[in-house]
Amino acid sequence: MSLSATSSRIVSLDQFRGYTIVGMILVNFIGDFAVSPPVLQHHNTYFSYADTIMPGFHFAVGFALRLVLLKRIATLGARRAYASVVRRGLGLVLLSTVLEFGTSGRLFSNWPGLVQAGVWGALAGPLKCQFWETLAIIGVTSIFVLPVIAASIRVRIPFMIACAGLHVLLAHLFYFNFLYARPNWLDPIWGAQNVRGLDGGPLGFLAWSVSQIVGSLAYDCVARRPPRSALLRLSAWSLILMLLGYGLSVLSLNYPRTQPPTTDEGKVMVAASPVLPPARSATAAGILPEPPFVQPTAEEQRQLNYWLMDKRVVTLPFNLFSSGFALAVYALFVLLSDIAGWQIGFFRTFGQNALAAYILHEIVGAAVRAFAPHDSPVWWVGITFASYVGITYLFVRHLEKHSIYIRM
């Protein structure tokens, strides 16, 4: 989501959005190699640096969505303003789908296989997993929060709490097992029983709405208060959200350690009751779970449950901590950019043309990765990554020099 081309830009938002794009470029490329440290890879058993990126996008979208919508309601009227957001959201869904399936190859190797699968048989797996790439999730979530994003804080906060609570309830009833391809009542209807979900899956908008609402609240803080006052409030709330998320993750200690010990998520057992934790047993005893960014050892890894910081399900601990972390990083850019007046040109280039950077990074990454095997040594990973970043930056910088910005 971009600020209006005619509005005065909030520099801290551009810098934050540029930082998030650069972080995405880093983890999407580096995380694909055997030599990559775990903290730069996505996980569903603890919170890594790679897991900070998507919540950062949703935070920025919620911030900009409220900013743009309020201005458009004032200038265009509510009907046209809301319609423009719906069109943009649907456009992001379409673009995400084209980018994903345009690079994934054929889903069916022959015509009889497609005919036998039928329409829903062909769509059930992708709609559970591949469809939910970043832009599609952003588009759907933006449309979902649209009825409240321009409303007062008294509307948005209860809405956010209700979405989080409904997500916990549905996870308990069936959704956690659905995303982990475990037996549940929806499988006979939906199909694709052996497919695991991705980044929240088809109901992920309930969880991701939390990050977008937090972003909209951050906009209110910045728009209505002097920068130094806004910085203090943003910092305080970021700390509160991170502590809440980490505090809830303590419930994961009620679950037994996985047997045999492993850090390979594919070999970790899903808990029998992933949302309602059992009474803590002696074998599950512990004081505090590992802090975010620290991978549990094989001996300390718990069975998969809702109280881990899990990006596949977008669990409540993950959601709260990641939203707080995004708020903390944004507060840092308020300090550096809005108060101290600093800008990083690299972040500005990517931040002001984020959609173009996203599209180009996908294309350039696929081209460079063709010459970078999974088992490449560190020096070759460094060379190919530098090439990847450099080529992507040159393209986006060229667009910036010619005042070409991709808006949806």
In this predicted model, what pLDDT tens digit does every residue of 103-124 receive, in sequence order?
666 777 888 888 888 888 888 9
Q: Is the pLDDT of residue 3 over 70?
A: no
211: left (phi over 0), alpha (psi -120 to 50) or beta: alpha
Q: What percent of the chain has pLDDT over 70?
A: 95
pLDDT (0 to 100) of residue 400: 94
Chain centroid, CA 245 distance in Å: 16
| Beta carbons of 214 and 241 less than 8 angstroms apart | yes
pLDDT for res 113: 83
pLDDT in tens, 161-172: 999 999 999 999
pLDDT mean over 322-337: 97
What is the reported pLDDT for 332?
Answer: 97
Q: Coil, helix or strand for 75?
A: helix
Q: What distance, in Å, lies between the first and last C-alpha atoms of the chain?
A: 8
CA distance 212 to 314: 14
248 pLDDT higher than 90: yes
Q: Where are the domains of the chain?
A: 13-107+115-401
Q: Average pLDDT for residues 247-253, to the nearest whole number?
A: 94
Average pLDDT over every residue of 187-215: 95
Q: Which amino acid is at 118?
A: G
Mean pLDDT of the chain: 92
Q: State the maximum Cα–Cα separation within the chain, in Å, rounded to a whole number.
A: 65
**Cβ burial 84-103 (10 Å sphere, 16+ → b, else e):** ebeebbeebbebbbebbeee
pLDDT tens per residue, range 59-69: 999 999 999 99
**82-90: average pLDDT:** 95
Q: Taking residues 206-230, report their average pLDDT.
A: 96
One-letter amino acid at 334 equals V
* pLDDT interval class at 408 (50, 70, 90): low
What is the pTM for the complete model shown?
A: 0.93
Q: What is the pLDDT of residues 129-164, one digit of tens each?
A: 988 989 999 999 999 999 999 999 999 999 999 999
Per-residue pLDDT, averaged over 90-115, amounts to 84
**Mean pLDDT along residues 354-375:** 93
Verify cis geometry, omega within 30 degrees of 0, for the bond prior to 55.
Answer: no
As a whole number of angstroms, the distance between CA 321 and CA 309 comes to: 8
